[in-house]
């Protein structure tokens, strides 16, 4: 490993509206951005031409700019559609990838749409029950614990 001066290392790096830890390797640092997982982070780094073993704090401004450019338009840079988190969007019909607060808003809108059309999942959401087919006999109970009461000892 080469000697790098302390001026070149940045402990906190701003990337897509999120503060990232500069001491982590590039793919793992990118996963702190909501909507980017490890697989997508590796793909973004490779397409941008950034060494995946490098620490994020040692990247130049130009490398960070390339990373952000690829992350904003993954399909346009050759990243396959199966890595995206919003395939065949119900509104636009396109393959999209959503990040940060947009991701939170999109998920909330999906749940509200399901509740509005009264689909099975929407009804379960509105009742506060499990949505994905889990058992509800013993888990997912709300309120105080109800168990067997023991007799007082004398």
How far is residue 151's CA from residue 115's CA, in Å, rounded to a whole number? 46
pLDDT confidence of residue 106? 92
Q: Are residues 118 and 62 in the same domain?
A: no
* Three-class secondary structure of residue 116 per DSSP: helix
Tell me whether residue 126 is in a domain: yes
124 in a structural domain? yes
Query: How many folded domains does the chain comprise?
Result: 2
Model pLDDT for residues 104-128, shown as the tens digit of each residue: 999 999 999 999 999 999 999 999 8
Q: Is the pLDDT score of 146 beyond 90?
A: no
Residue 46 is part of which domain span?
A: 12-83
| Share of residues in the chain with pLDDT > 90 (%) | 44
Same domain, 76 and 37: yes
Higher pLDDT, 13 or 153: 13
How many angstroms separate the Cα of 60 from the Cα of each of 12, 13, 23, 48? Answer: 13, 11, 14, 13
Per-residue pLDDT band at 6 (split at 50, 70, 90): very low
Looking at every residue in the chain, the average pLDDT score rounds to: 87
Same domain, 24 and 65: yes
Note whether residue 76 is domain-resident.
yes
């Amino acid at each position: 490993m080469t000697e790098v001066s302390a001026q070149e290392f940045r402990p906190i790096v701003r990337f897509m509206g999120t503060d990232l830890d500069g001491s982590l390797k590039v793919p793992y640092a990118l996963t702190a951005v909501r909507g980017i997982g490890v697989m997508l982070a590796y793909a973004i780094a490779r397409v941008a031409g950034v060494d995946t073993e490098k620490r994020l704090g040692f990247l130049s401004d130009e490398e960070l700019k390339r990373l952000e450019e690829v992350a904003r338009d993954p399909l346009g840079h050759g990243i396959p559609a199966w890595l995206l988190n919003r395939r065949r969007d119900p509104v636009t019909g396109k393959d999209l990838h959503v990040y940060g607060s947009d991701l939170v808003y999109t998920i909330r809108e999906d749940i509200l749409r399901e509740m509005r059309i009264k689909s099975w999942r929407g009804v379960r959401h509105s009742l506060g029950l499990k949505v994905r087919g889990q058992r509800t006999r013993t888990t997912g109970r709300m309120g105080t614990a109800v168990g067997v009461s023991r007799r007082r000892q004398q």
